Structure 1
Amino acid sequence: MAQQDSDDDMDEFYEKFKGYKNRFNEDTWEEEFDKIPMFMKKAPDVIDPKVHPELACIQAMVHDEDRTPEEQAKSLKDEGNEFFKEKNYEKALVCYTAGLRKKCGDQDLDTVLLTNRAAAHFHLRNMRSALNDAAAAKKIKPDHLKALIRGAQSCIELRIFAEAIQWCDEGLKAHPTDKKLQELRAAADKHKRAADRDARKAKIKEKKLQGEKEALLAAIKDRGIKLLQSAKPHQCVSESEDEDKGSSAGISQLSLDGLGSQEATGAQVFLDEQGSLHWPVLFLYPEHQQTDFISAFCENSCFIDHLAVMFGEELPPWDADRKYHPQNLQLYFEDAEKETFYQVNAETSLLKVLQHKRFFVKAGSPSFIVLVKGSSFWKQFLKGKKIRGL
């Protein structure tokens, strides 16, 4: 009987509670319960009074606006230190910044807040911000040990070793026996000497490479070889002067812009110790949509030397009719501007072809079309095209 009365009372209470306008929703009561500060599983990173009014009220009690700015700043510093101990550097940063915004006027406290914020920035890898805070702290108190150490550490991480040494030297004047500053000074000096050595090596290497580039371009210029700039077609020879001046036209405009084959092919023209140029050369077989690439074709070598190797005893698998024998092959290069094909004798050296007044090295790699002389494809491919000999 007593149990029945109790159940009835609870039912009556529940019915009355259902009319309470601020009651929990039956479906979302767990989420709403978690908004109550006492029962929160985790506090939000940013407390919005509109979203968490009760929590904002508690925070206001902790940082009571009736207290002096100095008391509030100290409380925020202590709160930041707790977060720092927990390695929650983001929240520590927020607290130290809030403390500095109080502008309490206590130079010692501001120095500590700046130094602590520098430490938080340092652990978050915000090295420039860490250095700025250390510098601001040092400006207030030039002999503050932690600020001097943090400034030197930040400089080392930023690889500005000369400044790191300066920070250490300033610190050692005020704290001549501090081991940390001594260690940082030694480390910064070691890094600086290594960086200076690397810079000297890089400068020597750059100078050597520049010399090699200049020698390479001079060799190309001396031979009268024309480089076709990818962005400016036929830049080296103009339409009006090509027939009269030939390979000497526009040579002063030669630049490494016309030697971009390395990015596409992994090879680039080079000058050997004997003064000979070696070019990356591309052979095109349009009948079978195939190519061959020779990474270093010596300018003094003849085309037949390479054809004899590529089409010697073993013919390529794509040559189903077995007709690509050296004696059957005919080479051409195309002058796209004149819409003309020039026939190349296989016994000719690469240099002689490159020196032709209508040959332009495109993208750093001379290219040649290879056809089987007399074949049906050869006849169809050259039909209607202007053909000239060298």
Structure 2
Amino acid sequence: MASLGQQGGEDSDDGMDEFMDKFKTHKYKNAFNESTWEEEFDKIPMFMKNAPEDFDPTTHPDLACIQSIIHDDDRTPEDKAQSFKAEGNEYFKEKNYKRAIVSYSEGLKINCNDPELHVVLYTNRAAAHFHLGNMRSALNDAVSAKKLKPTHLKALVRGAQCCMQLRNYGDALQWCDEGLSVDPTDKKLLELRRNADIQKREAERDARKAKLKEKKERGQTAALLAAIKERGVKLATVQKPARRASDSEDEEGDEGQVTAGMVELDLDRLMSKEATGHRVFLDENGALQWPVLFLYPEHRQTDFISAFCETSNFLDHLAVMFGEELPPWDTYRKYLPQNLQMFFEEAESEQFHQVSMTTPLLKVLQHSRYMVKDGTPCFIVMVTGSPFSKQFLSGKKVYWLK
């Protein structure tokens, strides 16, 4: 055991000797000069005997930091706030705006008796917030600075800039006018005021246009709902509108059903997924154009017509869809207009109603058992007498609608 310990010690000594030999042959690059080491040593903030005559915290931040640690209790609140301002300014120059905000905030927390210094701290912090995109915070700081000194031009400019970014053009004009009363020739404020005036006029114009458009759309919606109600078409929605205390009993529809006069709350909710972007509308001739969905359950296919005029019959459309060029899924070429039969299903039962191909759409929509679901009339199309048709209708009640 002793021999092992001795061997380990010898290895260690050998390694140290090698290290020291190498150390002697390589000169330390950052060493002090032998002839001027005292002067160089005295330039290190930690070992300075006296502060430089031209000492400025902004040019000697390390020395300022050490002094603040040693003499912090002896410094006045104003001096401490000044140090935080200087620190914040350094961070600001480096574009480290978050750190700058922290420094300015610490300076404000000291609550010294120098209102001018507070104005600068608020204004500088507003600038840091502005560069970070914190427009509300920047505006709040500009407001605080202006309260302390209403004629502080930088605060007035910053307030105007924040209002422009927040699109409060009227407020921006007010900030500009206050600033121009201090300096009528300030270029930034003159440019800001010109832009604020232009943007304010454009915003007011856009607001007027939007209001007119909304009024026009409300009128069109009212006319559309009146047309639906006049025709006696029933609409179904998933949600029943809340009843107000002033509503009478005869104004309520059945649960899950909404009559035409009660759909005023939102026509957009009457659009089905298949009819995205399309809904019923009144054309220039006063006729209702409906989005209509055809289902082909045998092949799990669908067809969608975005504008089916209420006066048109089904044969007109089916003759086009199954004319000379039949769909690729009709492998056996069975879906010819003369071979087809069409049905609609009642919303809350399994009862089917067969519809004649020559019946106008409006007549079907006015049927006492028909209800338009999700704003899109829907019909089932199958081949007459086909095995699939017989199986599909097996056990179901079917009524004939001429």
- TM-score, normalized by the shorter chain, greater than 0.5: yes
Which one of the candidate residues 369, 377, 381 is aligned to 1:366?
377
Q: What's the offset of the Cα at 1:60?
A: 5.5
Instruction: Tell me, yes or no, if the aligned pair for 2:275 and 2:306 is still in contact at 8 Å.
Output: no
* SS of structure 2 residue aligned to 1:64: helix
Letter in 2 for 1:334: E
* 1:61 partner amino acid: I
The one-letter code matched in structure 2 to 1:140 is L
Moved more, 156-165 or 263-272: 263-272
Aligned residue identity for 2:263: L
Partner residue, 1:31 = none
Q: Give per-residue Cα distances to partners, 1:12-71, cap 9 Å, x unaligned.
A: 9x9xxxxxxxxxxxxxxxxxxxxxxx9xxxxxxxxxxxxxxxxxx959528824311111
Whether the aligned pair in 1 keeps the contact of 2:97 and 2:128 (CA below 8 Å) is yes
State the partner residue of 1:82. Answer: 90
| Change over 3 Å in CA distance of 1:65–1:284 after alignment to 2 | farther
Question: 1:264, CA displacement in angstroms?
Answer: 4.9
Report sequence identity in percent.
Answer: 64
Whether 1:320 aligns to 2:331 is yes
- Give the aligned residue type for 1:238: D
For structure 1, the residue ranges without an aligned partner over 5 or more in a row are 15-37, 39-56, 243-248
Is 1:197 the counterpart of 2:213? The answer is: no
What are structure 2's unaligned runs of at least 5 residues?
Answer: 1-9, 20-45, 47-64, 242-250
Deviation, 1:236, is 7.7
Q: Which residue of 2 aligns with 1:111?
A: 119
Q: Does 1:284 align with 2:302?
A: no
CA gap 1:182/1:75 in 2 versus in 1, 3 angstroms: same
Tell me whether 64-73 or 304-313 shows the greater mean CA deviation: 64-73
Contact 2:224 2:282 in 1 (8 A): yes
Take 2:340 and 2:275, find their aligned partners in 1: how far apart are those partners?
Answer: 27
Moved more, 302-311 or 263-272: 263-272
1:344 aligns with 2:355: yes
Residue aligned with 1:316, SS: coil
Q: Deviations over 1:125-152 (max 9, x none)?
A: 0000000000000000000000000000
Q: Which residue of 2 aligns with 1:67?
A: 75
The CA distance in 2 between the partners of 1:187 and 1:63, in whole Å, is: 50
Q: Give the corresponding residue for 2:245.
A: none
1:353–1:359 CA contact under 8 A, matched in 2: yes
Q: Secondary structure at 1:194's aligned position in 2? A: helix
1:263-278 superposed matches below 5 A: 264-278=275-289
Match of 1:213 in 2: 221
**Counterpart mapping for 1:241-320 below 5 A:** 250-255=259-264, 256-257=266-267, 259-261=270-272, 264-320=275-331
Offset of residue 354 of structure 1? 0.6
> Could you say what the CA RMSD is over the residues aligned between the two structures, in angstroms?
2.9
Q: Give the Å deviation of 1:265.
A: 2.4
Q: In structure 1, the residue corresponding to 2:72 is in which secondary structure?
A: coil
Report the AA paired with residue 324 of structure 1: Y
How many residues align? The count is 338
Alignment partners' CA distance in 2, 1:372 and 1:266 = 31
SS in 2 for 1:265: coil
Q: Evaluate the alpha carbon distance shift between residue 209 and residue 371 of structure 1 in structure 2; reply closer, same or farther with a 3 A threshold.
A: same
CA shift for structure 1 position 314? 1.3
Compared with structure 1, are the counterparts of its residues 237 and 149 closer, same or farther at alpha carbon in structure 2 (3 Å cutoff)?
A: closer
Tell me the amino acid that sits aligned with residue 151 of structure 1: G
Moved more, 175-184 or 200-209: 175-184
8 Å contact kept, 1:236–1:251: no
Counterpart contact for 1:73–1:104, Cα < 8 Å: yes
- Does structure 2 retain, via aligned residues, the 8 Å contact 1:227–1:361? yes
